[in-house]
A and B are shown apart, each in its own frame.
Chain A
Amino acid sequence: MEEKKSIKNSVLEKIKSGQAAMKPKWHFVLKAILIGIGLVICILLTLLVISLIIFILHDNGAWFIPAFGMRGVGRFIISIPWLLVLACIAFIIVLEILVRKYSFAYRKPFLYSIIGIIIFVIVGGIGISATRIHDNFSRLAMEKRLPFAGPIYRGFRAQRPADVYPGTVREITGDGFLIENRSHETFRIVVTHATRFPFGSEIVVGNEIVVMGDLKDGVVHAFGIRKIGDELPFPPGPGQIEMRRLN
């Protein structure tokens, strides 16, 4: 009884003497707004980083090479900008921590909220990568007119996979064709009987293509070739290739 009295008296005394004062409503509103802003910034950064990863892989041609088999898959894995992937994982962890402050998240197993976040940021990142935002940023970066992120774009453009050549077909030759890349460099591509065409071999002048192969004496001996317009995740069957040729 004594303990009971003393707790109540002590608490009320501290309140009356001003030792314990209520924090004003705006303090909590401000805190909630700051958490909300942090959440939005974190989401935007994650979306930007994921779309930048997709842009880099498209830009250097690595996105298209897994279709060339194990060698393509291996080169694709090496070409992934792992620093950006780590940054993306860090953002996702921060997002999860922020989201788990809300009852809709902590009442459900961790797996649900993390999968939900991953699906959301990947779909959002793919959506942003479909816009021209990174093309524009990249152009500004090359012209040295993009502050902060400029070195990121220039740095990743300089780190192209050694045996991947994206470019536009400028001329068909007897044993292959000539392609020109975005930096206006021209490469002679030689097609051999071993060259892989997972999406069909009908290549015409003006096609944007990705060639994977070894550069010897100024000539690229093509290991695999595909058109950039072919966005299917897996190569079509022989029947589908035949249909494309007929079209």
Chain B
Amino acid sequence: MDANYKDEDIVKKVQEGDAEAFGIIVDRYEDKLLRYGRRFLSDYDDIADLVQDVFLKTYVNIKNFDIALRFSPWIYRIAHNEFVNALKKKTKNPLSFFDVDILFPHPVSEENESDRIDKQTLSLMFEKFLNTLDVKYREPIILYYFEDMGYQEIADILHIPISTVGVRITRGKKILKKSYDSFEGKK
């Protein structure tokens, strides 16, 4: 099938019974989901198994997808749920994704001019300290910086308010910057 076909067109074919077309979906999303999984679950060994389960769940539930919407946030939502469940099984402490960030509106971004970080520092920060960041901050940062998602798409994947996405990315970056600065200071 032509590479110019949109995901939604391919999904329509799958919904109509063309199982082979689902192979194209796997081709298009496999690398992305493996990368997303590796960054999200940095110390998890069986990312490939989890990603395979994501594809199987996507196929099983594909008739629930509305082709008028974008497919990408939908499959990432399935991946998010799968990864969170894997994390819950692995960690002894129950994960809590409910916090005050989602309670109140955050009309103004917390980032100001002095908080801006250049690209090189940002990539060094991510490389060295992203794994140490709390999951609730790590995941929106991965989706925003590595998966090129917009705030609304991230909100749809994580089921959190759009303003909270911004708050978590900004706070996550601040925490990373702190770790980075103290690391640089020790050198």
Measuring CB to CB, which residues of chain A are less than 8 angstroms from any residue of chain B? 3-4, 6-8, 10-12, 14-16, 20-25, 27-28, 100, 103, 106-112
How many whole Å from A124's CB to the nearest CB in chain B? 24
Known contacts A7-B51, A15-B59, A22-B59: A106-B160 contact under CB 8 Å = yes
Whether B121 is near chain A, meaning CB under 8 Å from some CB there, is: no
Main secondary structure of the interface of B (DSSP, over half): helix
Main secondary structure of the interface of A (DSSP, over half): helix
Task: List the 6 shortest-distance A-B pairs measured between CB atoms, nearest first.
Answer: A28-B64, A106-B159, A109-B105, A8-B26, A11-B55, A25-B63
> Which residue, A6, A16, A28, A107, has most C-beta atoms of chain B within 10 A?
A107
Task: Say whether, besides A11-B56, A21-B60, A23-B61, A109 and B161 are in contact (CB < 8 Å).
Answer: yes
Question: Is there a chain A Cβ closer than 8 Å to B164's Cβ?
Answer: yes
Q: Which residues of A contact B22 (CB under 8 A)?
A: 11-12, 15
Chain A min CB distance to B115 (Å): 22
Known interface pairs A15-B19, A22-B59, A109-B104; 16 further A-B residue pairs with C-beta atoms within 8 A, sorted by A's residue number: A7-B26, A8-B26, A8-B27, A10-B52, A12-B20, A12-B26, A22-B62, A27-B63, A28-B63, A103-B156, A106-B160, A106-B161, A108-B105, A109-B103, A109-B164, A111-B103
Give bound CA distance, A27 to B155, whole Å. Answer: 26
Contacts of B62 in A (CB 8 A): 22
**A100 with B159, Cβ < 8 A, contacts A11-B56, A22-B60 known:** yes
Residue of A11, A16, A111 near B52 (CB, 8 A) is A11
- Interface check B102, CB cutoff 8 A: yes
Write the B55-83 contact mask toward A (1 if CB under 8 angstroms, else 0).
11001111110000000000000000000
With A7-B55, A109-B102 already in contact, the answer to whether A12 and B19 are too (CB < 8 A) is yes
**CB-contacts of B21-68 with A (<8 A):** 22-23, 26-27, 30-31, 34, 48, 51-52, 55-56, 59-64
In the complex with contacts A8-B26, A12-B22, A108-B56 CB distance below 8 A:
no
